[in-house]
Amino acid sequence: MTSSQLRAFLAVARHRGFSAAARALGVTQPTLTTQVQALEREHNVELFHRRGRRLELSETAQQLLPIVQNIAELELDALNLLVNSGVLHVGHLRVGAVGPFHVIEMVDAYRARYPKVELSIKLGNSAQSLADLENYVTDVAVLANFTDDARFVSAPYADHALVLFAHVGHPFASRASVRLEELAGQPMLMREQGSTTRLALEKVLQQAGVKPQIVMEIGSREALREAVARGLGLGTVSEAEFIPDPRIRMVRIEGDPASTRTFVYCLAERRDSRLVASFMEVAKRRP
């Protein structure tokens, strides 16, 4: 068993494919395949199963993955210690996120402190982002919901009120705010079931006994904004995620009764990794 074989295994496990793993390591696919196959033959194990176009980890590989991940992190810590007296000047931090808004702010702050650490961002929904953490595809994740799953640790980052946005011709567009009760019977466009924004709004509407008219479910912020801009109904979004557009106006809900909270997550078993801990620490210091 060699370090190059372990690095090859880790890359394939992270990228769920030999081609993507080879590109990430800067080697040819045959070279990478040879390294993984040599590891399998040497120990008489099967590490990957092909399911159509998808590559899945065997039971042995699932047990091996966290061990190899820890080895990679220790090698990185040793390199930083020997080369730069422990200061993080090398490494690749993979960040998962449900949207670009807060994660770009975090990455900007992180790069200001650790300019030589390579960063990459992978966008996806909450379930996929947590799955990527668990499978070591990403190192940290920025999510807009909370989970008490013991496999993860989290740190709150920011709270933002939910706001309405309306077509410029809508009666609400000329007002700074509306009461929650005024949403009764209003045509509204909602994000998909399970959306953090939708859950927060539905909670306060139910508590107040207010029933708007749900005219459409839309699965992306961009499509929702376009639908509102065409006058199809009212939309809601986190204040931090509102993008000005001459066709729409932002309208507050009096008292800001609904809000979302952004969290930064990592695997509990990786909280002491220097690379992971450095990002969590920067996130906690949000100005």
Look over the chain and give the mean of its residue pLDDT values, rounded to a whole number. 88
Note whether 256 and 245 are within 8 A (CB).
no
CATH 3.40.50.2300 fits 1-64, yes or no: no
- pLDDT, residue 85, reads 52
pLDDT (0 to 100) of residue 81: 67
The pLDDT of residue 144:
80
What number is the average pLDDT over the span 233-255?
93
Between 60 and 99, residue with greater pLDDT: 60
Buried b (16+ CB within 10 A) or exposed e, 148-173: eeeebbbeebbebbbbbbbbeebebb
Domain range annotation of the chain: 1-64, 159-259
In contact, 155 and 116? CB cutoff 8 Å: no
So what's the pLDDT on residue 91? 82
Q: What is the pLDDT of residues 78-137, one digit of tens each?
A: 776 666 655 667 788 999 998 787 889 899 999 999 998 889 999 887 788 888 888 888
Counting every residue written for the chain, the total comes to: 287
Q: Do domains 1-64 and 159-259 have the same CATH topology?
A: no
Rounded (10°) angle between helices 100-113 and 274-284: 110
Read off the pLDDT of residues 126-168 as tens digits, 9 standing for 90 and up.
Answer: 788 888 888 888 999 998 877 888 899 999 988 889 999 999 9
Q: Which CATH number fits domain 159-259: 3.40.50.300, 3.40.50.970, 3.40.190.10, 2.60.120.460?
A: 3.40.190.10
- Whole-structure pTM value: 0.63
pLDDT at position 80: 67
Helices assigned H by DSSP within the chain: 3-15, 18-25, 29-43, 59-84, 100-113, 126-134, 196-208, 221-229, 274-284
Question: If we measure between CA atoms, which residue out of 162, 139, 137, 156 comes closest to residue 237?
Answer: 162
- Percentage of the chain lying above the pLDDT 70 cut: 96
99 touches 170 (CB < 8 A): no
pLDDT given at position 185 = 94
